[in-house]
Amino acid sequence: MALNWISGKIERKTVWSDGLFTLAVHCPGVSAFEPGQFLQLGLQLPEKHLHRPYSVASPHGDTLEFFIVRVDEGELTPKLWHLEVGDRIDVSSKATGSFTLSHAPDSQTLWLLATGTGLAPYIAMMREPNIWERYEKVVVVHGVRFATDLAYQEELQQLKERWPGRFVFVPIVSRTVMEGAIPGRITHAIENGTLEQFAESKITSESSVVMMCGNPQMLDDVEAILHTRGMQRHKKNQPGQIVVERYW
Ligand SMILES: Cc1cc2nc3c(=O)[nH]c(=O)nc-3n(C[C@H](O)[C@H](O)[C@H](O)COP(=O)(O)OP(=O)(O)OC[C@H]3O[C@@H](n4cnc5c(N)ncnc54)[C@H](O)[C@@H]3O)c2cc1C
């Protein structure tokens, strides 16, 4: 299906670390969407229109946020990295995707697992009241390589203060030691029990829904672990506990 484009203007650029950034793009006219859905961002090159999908890291509005990592050998992201405030960027007018809370079942605890920029859809979800009305407890698990890749820290801290006992943020850092973070990878932290200890909750099919987004290896490995606990993908005609978004 042909995409319709809105010419957006970069209103803000936040650089979290080298190659890791958020673009806030003023692009009024994007149709209403659900937190967790994605849009296409694109640039017109002399030879073609180059575009890729990006989760929107904010709820619907005139200005939308995108949390992006530069893939050095990639085609689009090195170009996006060089954009500055005032530059134009094409934004598709209609979001798609089923990585949303309306595609997740009810439960007591909602686990939101992300590697890298896989955090984006959760930021959008947590800015809306729905998530806090539906789940007693929300645990965001952010797996990164370096402590400097832990973006959105201020906002996550504010959520902890706003929802004491109901919101837990778990940083998991694989390549540096950071106080207050679990060392290693998300998969290991589930297998060795440190994640559940940190969050003071158990991941069980009776009490939990697990959404996960980001690196495909993490998604496959975590899903395999959850299968051993009797958890399955959630489908319309076959209720389960796992909802997945693959970035590549
Ligand atoms: C539904 C969906 C939502 C997405 N949302 C986001 C988002 O919010 N933020 C974001 O940064 N990316 C997101 N992506 C990935 C994004 O669409 C691009 O694939 C990515 O930005 C690379 O584009 P590129 O043109 O620079 O590289 P390309 O030239 O397209 O690809 C080069 C290769 O890089 C690898 N790659 C892709 N993404 C990554 C990554 N994040 N880290 C390491 N290697 C990667 C893949 O193997 C890919 O084949 C999303 C993808 C999908 C399918």
- pLDDT tens digits for 71-93? 999 999 999 999 999 999 999 99
Using a 6 Å cutoff on CB, does residue 76 contact ligand 1?
Answer: yes
213 shares a domain with 119? yes
Q: What was the pLDDT predicted at 207? A: 97
Using a 6 Å cutoff on CB, does residue 61 contact ligand 1?
Answer: no
237 shares a domain with 149? yes
Q: Transcribe 112-130 into DSSP letters.
A: EEEEGGGGHHHHHHHTSTH
The CA distance from 63 to 246, in Å, is: 25
**What spacing in Å lies between the alpha carbon of 128 and ligand 1's midpoint?**
26
Pocket mutation for ligand 1, best pick of 15, 51, 54, 67 (most atoms within 8 Å of C-beta): 54
30 shares a domain with 144? no
**What spacing in Å lies between the alpha carbon of 191 and ligand 1's midpoint?**
28
195 shares a domain with 117? yes
Q: How confident is the model at residue 114 (pLDDT cuts 50, 70, 90)?
A: very high
Q: Which ligand 1 atom is the nearest neighbour of the CA of 73?
A: 32
Q: Chain-wide mean pLDDT for the chain?
A: 97
Using a 6 Å cutoff on CB, does residue 121 contact ligand 1?
Answer: no
Tokens 């958020």 locate to 22
The CA distance from 126 to 8, in Å, is: 24
57 shares a domain with 169? no
Nearest CA to ligand 1 atom 24: 74
| Kind and range of the H or E run holding 187 | helix 186-191
186 shares a domain with 83? no
| For residue 198, pLDDT beyond 90 | yes
Average pLDDT over residues 114-130: 98
CB 240 within 8 A of CB 234: yes
**What spacing in Å lies between the alpha carbon of 218 and ligand 1's midpoint?**
15
Average pLDDT over residues 128-145: 98
> DSSP code of 30?
P
**For position 197, which CATH number holds?**
3.40.50.80
113 forms beta bridges with: 141, 212
229 shares a domain with 196? yes
88 shares a domain with 48? yes
133 shares a domain with 239? yes
> What count of Cα atoms within 13 Å lies in the side-chain half-sphere of residue 30?
28
131 shares a domain with 225? yes
**What spacing in Å lies between the alpha carbon of 44 and ligand 1's midpoint?**
18
Q: Which residue range is the domain that position 22 belongs to?
A: 5-92
Q: Which among 66, 92, 118 is the end of a domain?
A: 92
Pocket mutation for ligand 1, best pick of 17, 71, 125 (most atoms within 8 Å of C-beta): 71
pLDDT tens-digit series, residues 139-194: 999 999 999 999 999 999 999 999 999 999 999 999 999 999 999 999 999 999 99
Report residue 60: phi and psi, to 5°: -60, 145
Q: What was the pLDDT predicted at 2? A: 84
Query: In total, how many domains does the chain have?
Result: 2
CB atoms near residue 140 (< 10 Å): 25
Nearest CA to ligand 1 atom 47: 248
User: 0.95 exceeded by the pTM?
Assistant: yes
Q: Which among 92, 122, 137 is the end of a domain?
A: 92
Using a 6 Å cutoff on CB, does residue 248 contact ligand 1?
Answer: yes
226 shares a domain with 107? yes
126 shares a domain with 44? no
The CA distance from 41 to 5, in Å, is: 9
SS3 assignment, position 243: strand
Nearest CA to ligand 1 atom 9: 68
Q: What was the pLDDT predicted at 236? A: 87
**For position 81, which CATH number holds?**
2.40.30.10
Q: What was the pLDDT predicted at 248? A: 95
Q: Which among 71, 92, 113 is the end of a domain?
A: 92
